[in-house]
A and B are shown apart, each in its own frame.
Chain A
């Protein structure tokens, strides 16, 4: 199975900060990567698909980049609503989908 490693696992930041989360795949997944935001007690919400495509309705402060094995999610200016846990997910291997371990963005 393809392993997805996210870093950091926890991130402390302030409103207005630029935040970057990294996701590394154990083998190349081309651009078959998605990012999700999850708040406590809620289902995940799709933010980015195909590594860099912004899901409809998602604020433009969210952006994704990367291909192959290294990917990043960037929040250009952190807003109060953005404090949550973020997960990457690879779907290069459809019969073996895997998620990263998550990055919790906390208030500094």
Chain B
């Protein structure tokens, strides 16, 4: 079964750091671009970062310089290192796979909650 499972969420103080993980199974992880998308409670979806199969990375302005996406193909794992966290970063964080033939997010994880609060 094709699956993505996130972990690492929790409560962190403003200015703190957190590292999210996403474990992939059921497909050849190294062959797919991977992304992180977040959703604040009651709000819409916001793209957070992307990493290509060659390790190229992309970020929106809201997290650039604070968040770092990485992957470890040998472990079928995706990561998101989040530094200098703010209250506005509070959200459910999803990892998602892009199927190259469609260009869209065809597989999503169940999400992990990150709460930034003192």
Q: Do A and B come from one complex?
A: yes
Interface residues of A (CB under 8 A from B): 1, 32, 34, 36, 38, 42-46, 49-50, 53, 55, 87, 89, 91, 94-102
Chain B residues close to A by CB (< 8 Å)? 35, 44-47, 50, 58, 60, 94, 102-106, 108-111
B105 touches A100 (CB 8 A): no
Residues A53 and B102 in contact, CB atoms below 8 Å apart: yes
Closest A residue to B105 using CB positions: A46
- Across chains A and B, the number of contacting residue pairs, with CB separation under 8 Å, is 59
Q: Are B105 and A99 in contact (CB under 8 A)?
A: no
Are A96 and B110 closer than 8 Å at their CB atoms?
no
Complex Cα distance, B39 from A42, in Å, reads 11
A100 to B58, CA, bound (A): 20
Select the residue from B46, B104, B108 with max chain A CB neighbours within 10 A.
B104
The residue in chain A whose Cβ has the minimal distance to the Cβ of B57 is A95
Complex Cα gap A43–B105 (Å): 11
Contact status B104-A44, CB under 8 Å: no
